[in-house]
Structure formats: C-alpha cells, structure tokens
A and B are shown apart, each in its own frame.
Chain A
Amino acid sequence: MAVAAKGPYPKFWATVGSRPARRRPGVVDDCEWSPGERPLRVVVVGKGGAGKSVVAGTMARILARRGRRVLALDTDPVPGLALSLGTTARSTPPLEAAVDPAEGGCWRLKEGIGPVRAVQRFSTLAPDGVHVLEVGDHPVSGVGSVTPAAQAFYQVIHGLPEAKALRAWTMIGDHPAGPRQTTHDWAPYADTLLVVAEPNWKSALTARRLIELASARGAAALPVATKVTSQGDSDRVAQISGLPVAAAIPADEAVLESDRQGVALIDHAPSCPAVRAIEDLVDGLVDGTIRPVASR
C-alpha cells in the first residue's frame, strides 16, 4: 500500500516545522554544569494506577523546595498531576487560547508564542513555586475536544530542549497510562524515563514494554518499583521488567489516604516512608548515583 497515508503524528510535524535533527533525546548540554547542578529532565511513565503522578508531583515539590526552578508537565488529558502537586487542574485546556487553525485541519501555536512564552503565560503555580503546564482537560459534559490544545502542547514540548531561557530548569513530565505517548515522542525534553511499576504482572509487563520502546528511541529507562512490601516485590519488578530497580517506594497507607482525600502526598504526610523514598530517588538522580544501565 502506498505510504501517502499519514497518521495524526506526521501531521503534527507539519505544524511544528522541520523535524529536529536526531540526537539523544532531552540531553541538556552537561559539560558546563558543576557537579549536582545539572537540571533533571525526566518523564514518569507506567501502567495506570502505578503511582506516576504521585512520584512526579512529589519529585517536583522536593526539587522546588531545594531552590530549583521546576516545570511540571502533565500530558494526560485527564489531569492528575495538579492534584499530586497540591493544586487544582484548570477547567479548560490552557493552551486553547494559544492556537490558530493551520492547514489540513491541524492547529499551530499563534505567532509570537514559543515555548518560553507558553510556559510564562499558560502555566499555573503550584505550592513551593512549581510551574505546571497541562495539556488540558476534557470538559465534564464530554463533547469538547482537546485536540487544538494538545497539538499546541506538543509543539511547546518540542521547543523545550532548545529553549535557552529554560536551560537551568528542572523538567518533570507525567504521561497518561500506557505506551502511546512514549511511542510518539511526547517527552523530547527528557533524557530519562522513570518507569513506575507495581510488583504485579500487568504493571511490570507494562514496564517491560515501555523499557523496550524507550531503548528503541535511544532514551534511558529506570524502573521504579512502587507499593513495595518486601525485597521480593522489588526483585519481581526487576525480573519482569528486565532492568534493575533504581528505587523502591514502599507501600504506604499515607499514599492511599492522600489519594482518598485528594491532597498532595507531601502535604498530607511530609515525612512518610513513601516521600522519604522519593527523596532518596531525587538525591540519587541529582548526584548521579542513580543512573541508567544498558537494558538487557
């Protein structure tokens, strides 16, 4: 069959402009950073319910408390990251106001709005000064489309790696469940995928799949085991996912309770075991003691 047919993603590129040269995804020029200063650029992926938003939101808050400028990016059309950061999601897609129609039913960012302006104008502020930019929300009525805002968001994130004004910013992304956005390059700013998995088959097999997809793209992947009650749990995630576990977040009643109440974990229980484990993960990523290994 002729290759003339193109899916929605190639169309995006028509609106983004020329496709950036192939390079290692998300690498922030590290030769000039003094030790521990290089900003983290990660995206948190995994199966639904594994704890992606809690890990991403808590990491963002911890780094902001340490004085980092942090941009948290929620690409899930059903936003959950805002809640885990301790703020509320916008009721309409923020970038809806930033798009113009383009050819072929596509949408593009308005003239004069680049990634930096988009972050300045359309991100909201969460506690500790975290900036959060959301792809946006389906209206509860269920008939609206988030497509224009999503296409604008896609263009914004593809501008982030080159945005000089944001060079020192930490960027933490939160993807929706499953492999779709990993396949279609929804985190070009990230050099590392944190692949969150519970110690059960569905979650850990999803991690295996995501690690395979990441490695096909040349991105590094680090499994993070969640809801861990024993060393065996952690080992199971490593065994099924195919990579050693970079961090084990213990099962913690405080996480369940904060979910039930709809508050940020770090506000609900700032020194609970799960937050401490996420702090250790942040420490390790910042000082370089936690780093990706080649996948088997």
Chain B
Amino acid sequence: MSVGRRILRLFLYQRELTPIVITIGLFVYFTIKAGSNFTDELSLSSAAGYAGPIGAIAVGEVLLLVLAEIDLSAGQVFLFAAWVNWWMYSLGLPVVVSILISLAVCCGVGAINGLITVRLNVPSFVTTLAMNFVLYGLVLIYSNMAEASPIPLSTYSSPSGKVSFEAELMGSWLWSEILWVLAIAIVGTVVLTRTRFGTRIIATGGNLVGAAEAGVPTRRVKVWAFVICSFLSGLVGIVDSVKYGSLDPGNFGVDFILYAIGACVIGGTALTGGRGTVIGAFIGAILIGILEDGLTLIGVSTNDFYVWVGVVIIFAMALNVQFDRIIARSRGA
C-alpha cells in the first residue's frame, strides 16, 4: 500500500482525524496572523470559554445521536441547572445541597424527555423541543426577569476575593470548565466504546428492532441516555455559571444546542444512528471555540464567524458522507 493510500485509510476509519487536522490548521493560522495575542492565556482561555458549554452539551448529545434520537433541550437544561442551583441557594440551603438538588432536577428532566419519547412514542425532536420552551418559560417566570448574582462559589461571591479549592474546581478557576468537559469526553468515549451500555446504545441506534429481539432493553437504554445528557449539560451549566458569576434570564438554550449539534457533526457523528464519536464532538467544540476566538482577534466581525461555522459544518458532513461512500465502494469491489 502506498503512503497516500495509507493516509487515506487512516482518515477513512479515524473520523476524528479530519477535525483534529483542521483545528491544528486553524491554530497555526491564527498564531501566524495574530501571534502572541492569540496564544496568550487570556485568548486561549476565552477560546476554551466558547468551547466549554458547546462541548459539554455535545458529549451527551452524541449518545443520543448514536441512538438515532436528539435532545434539543440540553442547551436550556444547561442554563436551567444554574438557575435551580441559584434558587435553592437563595432559600438558604448550603451550596453543596443546592448543587445536588439541581443535578437531581436535571436527571428528572432527562427522565421525562426519555419516558415521553419511549412510552408515548413522541419523536424526541418534538419532546425535547417542547421541553426547551417549558424550561425557558420557567426561568423567565421564577427569575422575575431579574439577573442572578453573585452565584455561590464564584469569585464575585467572595468578599476577600479569595476562593477555595472547591470553588476553583466548580468553575471559578479559568480552566476548570474546559477540564470538566475534557474529563467528561474521555469518560464518555470509554462508556460508548468499551462498556456494555455503550454497546447497547450502538445496537439500539443501529437496528432498533434487532437490538430488542437480541434482548437489549432498548427503551431503558434510551431513557438513561436522555438522563445522562441532561445531567452532563446541567453539571457543566452550573460550572459555567460559577465561572461567570451571574445569570441572565434572557439567555436562550437553543443557541448552545445548535452549536453542540454542529460540534457533533464536525466531529464525525452522523445523525442516522449507530455511529458516532464522543471525542470527535469535543474536538468539534474546540474547533468552534478557536474559530470564534481567532476570528475576533484578527479583527473579523462576528457575522463572518457564523458564515465560517456553517461552512465547516457542511464541509465536515459532506466529507463524512463521501468517506462512507468510499468505504462502501471498496467493500463492494
């Protein structure tokens, strides 16, 4: 096999490679164009700041996309979790308790998404679209349209300006959010590729009837995947609120979810079920983060950023479809 064919083969079967190469390419490009303005801590952490929420939501979303389902509410869950945490804390509960309650609520939201989808046979696109609006409305109602601040554990909540290790872990350190997301992505990859649960997800998404015939509890698997997606989105949502110290009731979760699905696609996950890569979704999020940060730094307007995100998503999907065709053809021969 020639070197060229070997490289092609590598890219065909390791779908994460293409976004990695593009991400590195963007990194090099922005470093050349903007120099240390791009590579300093402030710039890189703001890239990580863009990538964090997208990545957290994308990781959970991949599990659902592999199941041939979707969760459009995950972005709003990301915001809702922080609000529940704030409301519980405002009632006088210790912050540990308010966080745990908030995470439990997120799991509940995921369970409702899952049960409505599998028990009432409502397409998850619709179930979670509706859930997105419900959660957005609840935030508007119970926040009285007022901003929440300072979020417990955030730098702004400490009068002395000193923060504890727990506070840094939960988001007040510049890099904690992206490290949470990286950790989740690694665990998610292990779950999808190396556990029985992951096999059940692939089986259910790849052949729903066949998986059920082979004894896979397909409904239970789906409900759990919705629960996990909501839990992860909520967890990082709380970390994100600690990072920024305040919450704006006007934020709309759909902004996040559309980027997250974009990140999944860029990472090499099809929306047809049975295939997907968690680490790819994380890389997709990093790619979007670097693109946003880099374009801002070289003085391109935000409007251009949207065009580029669109171009990258289409490019990634088209490439993946072509890769699939090449594989199919090589097998047919």
B partners with A: no
Binding site for A on B (CB under 8 A): none
